[in-house]
Every structure is written in C-alpha cells, then in structure tokens.
Amino acid sequence: MKFKGTAALFIVLVVLGAFVYFTEYRGKEERQKQQESKKKAVQVEQKDITEISLIFPDRTISGVKKGEKQWQITSPAGLEADSDEWDQLAANFARVDRAESVAENPQDLTPFGLKDPAVKVEAKVTGGKTIDILFGSDNPKKTSSYAKVSTSNDVFLTSSASKGLFTKTISDLRNKKVLELQSADVDALKVSDGGKELELQKSGENWQLKKPIDTPADSSEITSFLSSLQFARAASFPDPPVDAKTAGLDPPAMRITAHDGKAKADRTLLIGKTSENDKYYAKDASRDTVFIIEKEIPDKARRPVFDWRDKTITKLDRDKIEQIEVLRGAEKSSIKKDGSDWKLPDGRKLQWDKVSAMLNTLEFEKAKDIIDMPKALSTYGLDKPRLEIVFRQGSNELARIAFGSESKSPEGIYAKTSDGPAVKVITKSIFDNFSVKVEDLVETPPAPPPAPEKK
C-alpha cells in the first residue's frame, strides 16, 4: 500500500511538473514570440521571400530569387546580382520594426511623406502574395521614420535606419566580385604582364615559385594575394558602359589566372588600361561585364620576383638543436642544451632569454636579398668567414651559417647557409646577435643573502 501511494505521488509530481513547464516556461516562450511578432511591421520569414522591388520616385530596382541562394536582377535587365546583398534585403524586410502608431486612417498621407514615399519596398512571398512597406519622411526629432504597410491605413514609426537599409543604388546591388574564387581551393597561380611571366605551384601546404626561377615561395605572401583576389570588389562600373577592346582588355595588359583545384577550372582576371588615376578597367574572363578596380591587385601582381619568394634565412627546427658552436677563425666555443636550460661545457647556466633571442632572429627575420648565382665566395668575404655558427643534434650537423663582409646595397651582411649555394644579404642585427662571446651569456648568480647583524 505504501508503494502504491508513493507511485501515485510520483505521477502527480510528474503531471504537475509538466503542467508548470508547458504553462510557465513554454508559455513564456510563446508569449515572448508573440510580443516580438507585434513589434514587426510585417509577418513574414526571410526564407519565404522570392521577389523584391525597391520603388523610388524616379526608378525601380527589382530582383527575383533563383534557387537556394542565387538572385537575378530583373529591372534594369541584363545586370548580374550580388546575391549576398539581395539576401540581406530579404532579411531586413522581415525585420522592419514597428514602434508606436501615429495616425489611424489619415485622410492625407502628405504630412508623413507617404503620398509619394521615399522608397516603397515590395516583396512577393511563396504562394504569390505581395507585401508592401512604404517609407516616408523622418519625424521632427529625426530619430524615426514614418512608415505604412499598403494593406493597412495605420501610419507608424520605425527606426530611421530601416529606411536607409533599402535606399540602394543599382551599383549597390549588382555583382561587384572581381572573381568567383575560394582562395583555399587554388593550387596554381599565373601572372602574365606584357613579356613577364610569373608561375607558382602549390604542394601540400607550401608554394613553389616555378617561373622565372624554380625556388621555394613565400607561402604567406601567396595566401595574402589570393585572399585579396577573393575579396576584391569592383570600385565602380563605366558609365556609359565600354566594350573589352575600348577598355584595353582585348588583348589585356595583364592576365591573372588562379587554378581552382577543387573545381578543376581556371579563374582568370583580365586587367586593361588605366581608366583614371590609380584605377584600371578589368573583367572576369568568364563574364561580359567590364568594371573598374582600384590599383591594389595590379600593384601586388607586379611586385618584383623577390617579394614572392621564400626569404627564410635557413630552415631549422629549433626543438632539435642540442648544441650551438661559435667559430671565429681558429677560436671555437660552444653551448649545450640541458633540459630547458642552456649551459657552457663547464656547467655554468646561460641567460635563457638571450639564447632564445638568437634563435628567434633566424626564425622570424628575412633575407634582404638573395644571390642565386654568386661569384667567387671571396667577393663576399665568405672564403674566410669572420664568423660561423653551427647547429647540432648530437654529432649530426643540422645547419651552418657563415657571415662574410658588409653589403652596401642593400645594406647588411653577406651570409651563406649550408642548405644551398645562394648568398644572402641579412640585417646586421642578426650578425650582432650571434657575434657575442659565450662568456657574456652566462647567467649572473644571485647575490648572497646579507650577513645577520651582530648583537
């Protein structure tokens, strides 16, 4: 009997809990949704909007949704749409807020600027229904705008920002993408500029310069350039429009081709003559539209080959370094790693931050110039280097850097690493970091505690 009573009590508690949940918590959620719904000018979801028209006193801009995410401009005809911008228009339409009502069934809409509205936004939704919102003038405080839904006689206030979200030009809503490109999918890049050719190929996560020389490329520079291409937008469109020949695009002055490895297709940007100061005519080779771009892309593409190549002084895994040797002619000194510390052979501990700074220069500093086909090493003071640094893991030599004489142009120090025949010009600060006596790196022992005072 006691068990049956307990079970019955449990069932009552469950039912009561469910009642509280559905009436309080779920009910609260529903009430909040209803309150939020009342604050909206129209009851529509963004996903249900299939057509939008912006009707101004002097022009109309219309677009229709094609498929899941694509939009097409229908008025004026013949222009490509920026689908992201049209999606945003649909989202903004569904979010137009409704504040206080200022007039019910007014006989004259002129005082609210709604007889000839600044903009009328017309949206067609799934099923064919059309919903209109008219935006008029601002209220005296300039904090809100008068608005009206065409199916209602009620004039209400909405945030003045709402009207601005629909005050668009055709240029705002047309496709301004320079190239349809995802930078992460690009596995090859070519730049043809007159008689100059630049070719780069991606292998794994790294880039290799193939033309005009075959050498490792600066992957971060390539990634940055491709990102610029992906997010580049037309600055404007020629008015009146010009054809490719007039714009110097047939043939183009410059051709940038990014190969999309994922789609197995080329994405090609054609760049023509200058339209005005620091601006160029350009077009996507797969589209007819001629547009105008800023100088950023052409300027980056025309950089010297040196800017595209890997300028790392030497490839070195610092975690593998167990010993560093410093050679000055016949003089030799060394330091060894002991756990996380660096020490002299006699066991004296070195200043960790100074040794770390030496290694940081190799990891983060870049060569100022690279001579791929050097003359005799004596030309650079490298036949008898004034300083050599050897990095070892056990008895295995990981890398060796020799420092020679000073370079005047560019200013710096000639250096040669063991990983190739090239001579590099590096900053004097790198040389200075390594040109120290190991004794100067020794950690100063802490001062002994003061002797106790005699009583």
**What was the pLDDT predicted at 119?**
97
The DSSP string of 209-264 is EEESS-EEB-HHHHHHHHHHHHH-B-SB--SS---TTTTTBTTBSEEEEEEETTTT
Backbone angles phi, psi at 403, to 5 degrees: -110, 130
pTM of structure: 0.80
The helix (H) or strand (E) run that includes residue 396 is strand 396-407
Walk along the chain (455 residues) and give the pLDDT tens digit of each residue.
454 566 666 666 666 666 655 555 555 555 555 555 578 999 999 999 999 999 999 999 999 999 888 999 999 999 999 999 999 999 999 999 999 999 999 999 999 999 999 999 999 999 999 999 999 999 999 999 999 999 899 999 999 999 999 999 999 999 999 999 999 999 999 999 998 999 999 999 999 999 999 999 999 999 999 999 999 999 999 989 999 999 999 999 999 999 999 999 999 999 999 878 899 999 999 999 999 999 999 999 999 999 999 999 998 899 999 999 999 988 999 999 999 999 999 999 999 999 999 999 888 999 999 999 999 999 999 999 999 999 999 999 999 999 999 999 999 999 999 999 999 999 999 999 899 888 889 998 776 777 677 66
Handedness of CA 13, 14, 18, 21 (dihedral sign): positive
The helix (H) or strand (E) run that includes residue 32 is helix 26-38
**What was the pLDDT predicted at 438?**
87
**What was the pLDDT predicted at 5?**
61
DSSP structural state of residue 289: -
Residues ≥6 apart with Cβ < 8 Å to 140: none
Q: Report the C-alpha gap between 171 and 234 in whole angstroms.
A: 10
**What was the pLDDT predicted at 19?**
61
User: By the 8 A CB rule, do 42 and 94 touch?
Assistant: yes
Q: Are strands 154-159 and 101-104 parallel, antiparallel or unpaired?
A: antiparallel
**What was the pLDDT predicted at 448?**
73
85 φ/ψ sector (left φ>0, alpha ψ -120 to 50, else beta): alpha
**What was the pLDDT predicted at 168?**
96
**What was the pLDDT predicted at 350?**
95
**What was the pLDDT predicted at 373?**
95
Q: Report the C-alpha gap between 80 and 66 in whole angstroms.
A: 12
User: CA of 341: how far to CAs of 27, 80, 119, in Å?
Assistant: 64, 63, 71
User: By the 8 A CB rule, do 197 and 257 touch?
Assistant: no
Q: Report the C-alpha gap between 269 and 267 in whole angstroms.
A: 7
3-state secondary structure of 372: coil
Omega cis (within 30) before 238? no
Nearest Cα to Cα of residue 62 among 86, 43, 84: 86
